[in-house]
Structure 1
């Protein structure tokens, strides 16, 4: 063999060994083995695979060579997702269990999950805790709303270890998922055509669906929302059905924009289940999902004789929640997520949130319900100690699998993976950041909801939401910095130049809950623009621009 070729082959083998050096022999978690007979898995359509689920019971070890005892059979598999599929080497997958090679679906109930055929394998590549999605869905289910149920498993693909995954229910019409009526092709008039429907607000990745775009002139600027019909599917929905649901949503938006929208008898109140909107609002604001409201947002409608109102949900896609995003202020523990358009649209974002949430935040009933529901949840499932206990119990059984996963994917832990704001050197660092972020976020929301629910006749709602202000800016010698401390902790106020260099450390001490005023000595600053950064216990709260002329 040519020496150069020989060296190339050796290097290739070494490289391959490094990439797939982490192997799996046994796990305390369920094992999923997938065999595509060497065929690459495409974005779509699904290709044939043989799969085996191994789970010997809770507390028992699962060996990779154990016989399949949950399911052994055929499945269709494809890559899924948008950014997660395009950007990361560890791919998320869509999985459908099949009865035969023709692709006929076969319902199974893996790992105690309700029987169905469609599943998602979430790679959780940029959420290094593997907890954000699972925690959010658990909270939503405890709130009494359906959210996808989950199980952790380790995956072997074509005899190569692929790492830790989250097996999840796919959002679809099903008695155990979104339980709405079946729409037949003959259901085109009367009550028959009124439901059920599942609509999503999202990018266009995935299967083709019937869709439309609404453009509205609103008090908050022009709103452009892209709606897609998730159910019925593209091949099944009739023209009459599509026209019905499109017109219903259009009429709902028209009613929200009507001058009497705050009236107790406003039309939109008859068209939606306001309690589901309140709960969706609260979970989105709590976790501050940077994609909240504008992407991966679902709502559904049942037949008129079965309620017939728009219901928000199910909740979906929270890997970029809980401070795990370095853009659109996603890392900050302060600020209302429903105002995301104020940040995203000026930056050219083409996927704005619908104006609904800004409008609802002006409605007396919605505000009162949201504030009261928040206060009740904070005493129970949103209680910080309860959530911390859940995080610890969920993370404990993952430790061995996490070591294997991060060995299989060495460019994750301690490295920047888009769009991480915080980069911990260890898994425990990542978990600690998550806990601290939640603690600071809930403190900010506590302070806001104490005011959010106030109903003062017809006066406009005003919130003291900004925890950091520069009073008189561009600054002069009588300018001051006003900042709010929502809980006792270490306050850090730093002034940066535009190169990221710390110019002044203004505050670095433990402070009690209060509102503080800090004088600014303008003479000590050169002309230019600065960034004022406010952190509480190391968690970012707010940033403000400071100008010296």
Structure 2
């Protein structure tokens, strides 16, 4: 029998004094006194370097437009990924040589001239091979993000690290410089994927013959998914135009019975949240959620004005011993960097997103969210700290920024403007790297000021006058 009842859920509150693992901020480790030794170029750098050799193969994943639709190009052999020789160089250490399956990754970023990559490490028998990169936990799946539309180069690095200080899990990240077939490709960010594993999403492998399972789900564009859940959010169009996909359990851990359990359990939680404000006198939803993680997800995404959060690239995981927990991902479009729409420093972005449109109807939730906001703004998310974080990161990157911009500097010349590689309209784009950095710092300050002044207006969403018609039973 498949069950999804509150009696099987324990909500564990996390107080203001976090007890998460120490976050490694790469730029705080300081530039090495020795440079990274490379055996194929005379380039000097203090950063780690990744070299990938394809042997002349076509890398799969380029979008091919067919009328208004598009599909992803395969390799010459019709494969969705190709095998490459991967080498990681770090200071004076022996190079780490591996085999990796790669393809282009992302959504709109696949149209950029500077590509991002998905990496899957394999052994000599082509089986997945867990590998530790740059001090991060071992796994076989990684993302190699190439900041490009983000001309500052630091949005994902900064936001992921700040989120990692306050949330149970946020992907770990490290800057590297990348060569593809010995051609310099610029500054990249090695990123943990949102996946089950030691040091990643803390969920357990289901017990043998058990239909119940911990799980990880993704809310995103259905076109990117193999199959979507037929869950409460889909049935009620709450998630439209997105869908929900199971990211774990998959492969050998997947069974139809476990898929049904995830569908029912996730639907039960969603249905409980959408009972707010009626039929929820005992705040049952609080037993089903990691409430503080929902606070922190809201705060970090609102501070960075990450307008995709809650709509696309939105992950939730559920440890059956605890509550549903959100995970941050993809800040490339944050801080008014959305390609086709301008978002100034005023207004909220998540108030109409899934779950939050209901959670904010509960005054107790709003009370806790506002308290948590003020606590973080006095500590880890102070404006002064954010400004210094930007400056220190740029100082750490040093000449790598210049090398990257020598490779991709045409983006600053608006005579080379095109809609795939620039913000729209053209006047939103920056003509120098310093302008891009100044925009990040200025926007963060203005955004923080606006939120400081207006965070209490969230009480409007919990006021009975706004939803009293829903309270009639």
Tell me whether the two structures share a fold, i.e. TM-score over 0.5. Answer: yes
Is 1:445 the counterpart of 2:451? The answer is yes
CA distance in 2 between partners of 1:261 and 1:75 (Å): 52
Match of 1:419 in 2: 423
CA distance in 1 between partners of 2:236 and 2:341 (Å): 23
Match of 2:195 in 1: 172
**Cα distance change, pair 201–419 in 1 and its aligned pair in 2 (3 A):** farther
**Cα distance change, pair 125–455 in 1 and its aligned pair in 2 (3 A):** closer
Q: SS in structure 2 opposite 1:230? A: strand
Once the two structures are superposed, what CA deviation does each residue of 1:419-446 show, in whole Å capped at 9, x if it has no partner? Answer: 3673222111111111110111111111
Is 1:181 the counterpart of 2:204? The answer is yes
Once the two structures are superposed, what CA deviation does each residue of 1:225-247 show, in whole Å capped at 9, x if it has no partner? Answer: 51000111266421111111111
> TM-score by structure 2 length?
0.79
The counterpart of 1:77, out of the listed 102, 105, 108, is 102
Is 1:334 the counterpart of 2:346? The answer is yes
Q: SS in structure 2 opposite 1:337? A: coil
Q: Which has the larger radius of gyration?
A: 1
Match of 1:399 in 2: 398
CA distance in 1 between partners of 2:239 and 2:434 (Å): 44
**Bigger relative contact order, structure 1 or 2, given CA contacts below 8 A and separation 6+?**
2
Match of 1:519 in 2: none
Is 1:127 the counterpart of 2:150? The answer is yes
Shift of 1:135: 0.8
CA distance in 1 between partners of 2:338 and 2:276 (Å): 37
**Cα distance change, pair 255–225 in 1 and its aligned pair in 2 (3 A):** farther
Query: Is the contact between residue 296 and residue 317 of structure 1 (CA under 8 Å) also seen in structure 2?
Result: yes
Return 5+ residue gaps in structure 1 as ranges: 1-22, 58-67, 341-352, 463-549
Match of 1:46 in 2: 81
Match of 1:239 in 2: 256
Shift of 1:267: 3.2
CA distance in 2 between partners of 1:222 and 1:182 (Å): 28
Is 1:109 the counterpart of 2:98? The answer is no
Is 1:282 the counterpart of 2:306? The answer is no
CA distance in 2 between partners of 1:268 and 1:375 (Å): 24
Looking at secondary structure, tell me which structure has more strand per residue. 1
Return 5+ residue gaps in structure 2 as ranges: 1-40, 62-78, 469-473
264-273 or 160-169, larger mean C-alpha shift? 264-273
CA distance in 2 between partners of 1:121 and 1:24 (Å): 23
Query: Is the contact between residue 70 and residue 111 of structure 1 (CA under 8 Å) also seen in structure 2?
Result: no
Shift of 1:81: 1.1
Is 1:92 the counterpart of 2:98? The answer is no
Once the two structures are superposed, what CA deviation does each residue of 1:207-232 show, in whole Å capped at 9, x if it has no partner? Answer: 735533634659xx895651000111
CA distance in 2 between partners of 1:24 and 1:332 (Å): 44
415-424 or 43-52, larger mean C-alpha shift? 415-424
CA distance in 2 between partners of 1:24 and 1:370 (Å): 52
CA distance in 1 between partners of 2:285 and 2:383 (Å): 35
The counterpart of 2:160, out of the listed 124, 134, 137, is 137
Match of 2:268 in 1: 251
**Cα distance change, pair 217–199 in 1 and its aligned pair in 2 (3 A):** closer
> TM-score by structure 1 length?
0.68
Is 1:324 the counterpart of 2:343? The answer is no
**Cα distance change, pair 41–205 in 1 and its aligned pair in 2 (3 A):** farther
**Cα distance change, pair 56–339 in 1 and its aligned pair in 2 (3 A):** same
CA distance in 1 between partners of 2:399 and 2:82 (Å): 31
Match of 2:53 in 1: 35
CA distance in 2 between partners of 1:332 and 1:447 (Å): 15
Query: Is the contact between residue 422 and residue 429 of structure 2 (CA under 8 Å) also seen in structure 1?
Result: no
Query: Is the contact between residue 287 and residue 322 of structure 1 (CA under 8 Å) also seen in structure 2?
Result: yes
Q: SS in structure 1 opposite 2:186? A: strand
Shift of 1:203: 2.1
Q: Report the RMSD for the aligned CA atoms in angstroms.
A: 2.6
CA distance in 2 between partners of 1:186 and 1:383 (Å): 49
Q: SS in structure 2 opposite 1:171? A: coil
Shift of 1:29: 1.1
Shift of 1:338: 1.7
**Cα distance change, pair 235–41 in 1 and its aligned pair in 2 (3 A):** farther
Shift of 1:393: 0.8
The counterpart of 2:174, out of the listed 151, 155, 170, is 151
**Cα distance change, pair 414–83 in 1 and its aligned pair in 2 (3 A):** same
Query: Is the contact between residue 368 and residue 452 of structure 1 (CA under 8 Å) also seen in structure 2?
Result: no
